[in-house]
Amino acid sequence: MEAACYTKPRLNQTPPYRLYFTDFARAALRAQQLSAQPDGKDQPFQTLEFLVRDWPHFQENCSLSDARSMMKSHLDQYFDPKKSEDTKSVKALGSLFQDIDVWCLPHPSLKIERDSWNGDLVVIEKEFWRFIDGYMDRIFSPEQLQAKENLGNFITVDSFGTVLREFIAAFSDAAPQAKTFSEAMEAHRREKQGSFGF
């Protein structure tokens, strides 16, 4: 499972980040000199999961199943090709990942943001722990604990070190150059206007 973690933003506020994952995935394929999955599957990667913290939209005492429905509905707004305005990212990521998902967590506690917080977990709100438990139950479920693949090959204990080194090498040149906030906003504005050129 590949994961992206965000605090506070909604997925619609992060279109450059969605393309960022596309760039990394393509860099990994270039490093392997592949354009598609070697075993004939359409998407070369299994799962891209967005983990969003500080999600403010859950109703008080919301059940996990109702919360999960809300999460999926939010994801669909930005990754369902029929609903999303950003069809470029949707198509690009859909061609690379077999599954795209999201899990949202409420804010753990305003007390952790204080300078005086000493790391004591007793201040974390029960609601946050409930959602963390639900997330752990889900990602460690038998359905999720299937053997992972890297470009058509199962990842084993013996191959993990090699896979990790190859991905580090692939991604070392894929990271974009750091930009100031104003440069990033200008790039995003140009992209929205269709003047990016790719």
pLDDT for the residue 15? 47
Amino acid making up residue 152: G
Query: Is 3.40.50.300 the CATH classification of the domain at 2-173?
Result: yes
pLDDT for the residue 197? 43
Q: What is the pTM of this model?
A: 0.65
129 within 8 A of 106, measured Cβ to Cβ = no
- Cβ density class 95-118: b for 16+ within 10 Å, e for less: ebbeebbbbbbbbbbeeeeeeeee
pLDDT for the residue 2? 43
Angle formed at CA 152 by CA 147 and CA 153, multiple of 5 degrees: 60
* Under-70 pLDDT residues of the chain: 1-21, 24, 28, 30-42, 150-151, 170-185, 188-189, 191-198
